[in-house]
Structure 1
Amino acid sequence: MTKQLPSTARSLPIALIRAREGVMSPIRDMLSTTGITEQQWRVLRVLTEFGRMDTKTLADRSSLLFPSLTRIAATLRDKGLVTQTRDDKDRRRQFIEITADGQRIIDDRSPQAAQIVAGFKEALGEDDYERLLDLLARLDPGANS
């Protein structure tokens, strides 16, 4: 064993993966009856918060690779949860907007999502919860650019 590497019990990548599973498990449970995935939920959440936007911005704000967003947007469009339109000036540029059905999924689950967040805040304490978000933002290369 090399002394240069920390114990796997104190490895940031491993700790983040374990924490992600702890965070995502109740969200997966919440989404289990919706027919949408975690990634699709993120896209709908971003559209609810920011409104209609171009696909590049949506991919960035949803923390998705552009090719993944393309596939996810097509699925959401086929389900009637978003609309896709082309820019009148630049036909290569597309915009995505949430539909009433997509908004209903968010609205119907907002109370449960808020309870999940409240559980995290209770487990960590309000100050540590906010501090954790601040610390994680410092590791986000997109936030530092």
Structure 2
Amino acid sequence: MNCFRMVTSVAHTAAALPADADAETHPSQEKSSDTNYYERSLTVALLRARESTMRRFKKYVDERDLSLPQWRVLRALAEGEPLDAGTLCERCVILPPSLTRILRALAERGLTRQVDCADARRHMVALSDKGQALFDELVGASENSRREIYDAFGPEKMALLLDLLNELREITEALPEPD
């Protein structure tokens, strides 16, 4: 399972399952209270951590009338080289239909531009000067929020968390698809 399918699957599973159907809670854990049950649910913990973390960044992009997925695309393109849709989907954890809408919206605002490519089947996208200027405005605030989170959590714990999350992703991607 690829990265963006896993994220979507985890989010949809957490939202769709009834309270007593959370398979992430180990059977040996007692369900002494609903609060404890939800605090020990993998999908709920991942969703809560994502929401509380993303809230730190959302205020900056909201002020510039961007969505968080649009910001992720701008950030990926700001690395310098033009990218194709497949690479953007993978790096930004965005499904292809959503990326199409995002790229259209960014192009309409003059934030991205098409880049000629020798392979006519590939559509390469890059930041426009206006897109680069917007990125430059936002990146400082974004980095401050990221640094604030890292400092509060601690660099060692953050490194361990990222390693464990990447390992979890690799393991779950290697598992057979559920029936």
Task: Name the TM-score, length of structure 2 as normaliser.
Answer: 0.72
Question: Percent same amino acid at aligned positions?
Answer: 32
What are the Cα deviations for residues 96-145 of structure 1, in whole angstroms up to 9, with x where unaligned? 11111111111112221111011111221111112111111112349x78
Pair 1:120-2:143 in alignment? no
**RMSD after superposition:** 2.3
CA gap 1:28/1:55 in 2 versus in 1, 3 angstroms:
same
> Structure 1: which 5+ residue stretches go unaligned?
none
Residue 56 of structure 1 corresponds to which residue in structure 2?
86
What is the DSSP-based 3-state SS (H/G/I as helix, E as strand, rest coil) of the residue aligned with 1:96? Answer: strand
Is contact 1:120–1:129 with CA below 8 Å preserved after alignment? no
In the TM superposition, residue 69 of structure 1 has moved relative to its aligned partner by 0.7
In the TM superposition, residue 84 of structure 1 has moved relative to its aligned partner by 2.1
Residue 16 of structure 1 corresponds to which residue in structure 2?
46
Q: Which has the larger radius of gyration?
A: 2
What is the DSSP-based 3-state SS (H/G/I as helix, E as strand, rest coil) of the residue aligned with 1:140? Answer: helix
Residue 61 of structure 2 corresponds to which residue in structure 1?
31
Displacement over 4 Å in runs of 4+: none
Residue 93 of structure 1 corresponds to which residue in structure 2?
122
Q: Distance in 2 between matches of 1:73 and 1:140?
A: 27
Whose RCO is larger (CA < 8 A, sep 6+)? 2
Write out aligned runs for 1:60-139 (5 A): 60-85=90-115, 87-89=117-119, 91-139=120-168
